[in-house]
Amino acid sequence: MKTQRAVQRKGLLAGGNWIIDQVKVIDAYPAPEHLANIQGLHQGTGGAPYNVLLDLAIAGVDFPLSGAGLVGKDALGQQILDHCAAHKIDTRLIQTTAKAPTSFTDVFTEQKSGRRTFFHHRGANALWDAKNLDFTRCKARIFHLGYLLLLDTLDKPDLLRGTKAARLLAAAQQAGIKTSVDVVTEDSDRFGRIVSPALKHVDYCILNELEAGKIAGFKIRLPNDQLDTVALRHAAGAILQQGVKELVVIHFPEGGFARTRKGDDVWQSSLRLPDKYIAGTSGAGDAFCAGVLLGLHEGWELSRSLLTGVCFAAATLSDPTSTAGMKPLGACLALAKKFGCRPGLDPKD
């Protein structure tokens, strides 16, 4: 008899931070007590589950998409629920609360450089305990959780697993669901205390080079800001040693890198985009993650998954918000043919 897991597992469940981004495009970031001019105002999606699910919905995937988390009983919370419903994202596991407002981030993007500065209000996300998740009744193939370090309740200690998030991920794995995590970028010493316990219950760890360096204790950038590919590979290996079961994927402006539990390495350069194409970098990391998760769900070769990731990221770079620049899958992949890839990322080349 075939098991339920083998026959019925399909789809992505993404849980964690649900955020509305208020994006202000400015001429330059000001010094204290100085003025910056706002050149444009945009409102968009924010947070790992919101961005990843919406990117996949716009891409046109043919598997179920569902979200989990907590929003406020307010206009922004209703906006998130309505937006998801319009893209056929299941919101039954997104709860509402009157105890805190929907989370939001003020994003200031410098017009010329694309550099971003974030002012974040945790809001309802800080209260989410995920107690409404029953993985034994969930038919998703992958559970993606993000962002560790920005989910106050799930980041709390747990006597059995180390953190509440680690306990949640362990429960998903025990139910036969593949687990994936992403981490927020912060300059702190909390990575070992909060992220490391979760890695023992993770199948796919997808994060940027700064976060990977913090977890593994490596400096991924040289003093001249060039990518240190040797340190990058060592960091991926060190993260695998902390318990990740199958795959570590690290993304960065120059492209993406994956190392498997078997020791296979795969490199993928980002697209060679003209400066005038890039309207903002918000959401590029989540878009890359969405592309990789699509490939993992469908069982693609890693090289194809990473290429899809950089194409998804390139699509989102065309708009100041996180997801408004996203396109159907074919149009995203066509960007690689249009612009080509940066040369020479793989050290073996």
Query: Which residues share a beta bridge with 337?
Result: none
User: In a 3-state reduction of DSSP, which class is residue 191?
Assistant: helix
The C-alpha atoms of residue 259 and residue 238 are separated, in whole angstroms, by 11
d(CA 180, CA 294): 12
Q: Which of 159, 158, 259 is nearest to 207 (CA)?
A: 259
Tokens of 6: 């083998």
Asked if 313 contacts 288 with a C-beta cutoff of 8 angstroms, the reply is yes
Q: How far apart are CA 197 and CA 31, in angstroms?
A: 39
Q: ∠ CA(21), CA(146), CA(72), 5° rounding?
A: 50
**pTM value?**
0.94
Cα atoms in the 13 Å half-sphere on the side-chain side of 245: 13
Cβ atoms of 150 and 62 closer than 8 Å:
no
Domains of the chain: 10-339 (3.40.1190.20)
Q: Which amino acid is at 330?
A: G
CB atoms within 10 A of CB 282: 27
Q: Rounded distance, CA 341 to CA 248, Å?
A: 22
What is the rounded distance in angstroms from the CA atom of residue 214 to the CA atom of residue 186?
Answer: 9
Nearest Cα neighbor of 165 from 137, 187, 143 is 143
pLDDT in tens, the chain (349 residues): 333 444 489 999 999 999 999 989 999 999 999 999 999 999 999 999 999 999 999 999 999 999 999 999 999 999 999 999 999 999 999 999 999 999 999 989 898 887 888 899 999 999 999 999 999 999 999 999 999 999 999 999 999 999 999 999 999 999 999 999 999 999 999 999 999 999 999 999 999 999 999 999 999 999 999 999 999 999 999 999 999 999 999 999 999 999 999 999 999 999 999 989 998 888 999 999 999 999 999 999 999 999 999 999 999 999 989 999 999 999 999 999 999 999 877 666 5
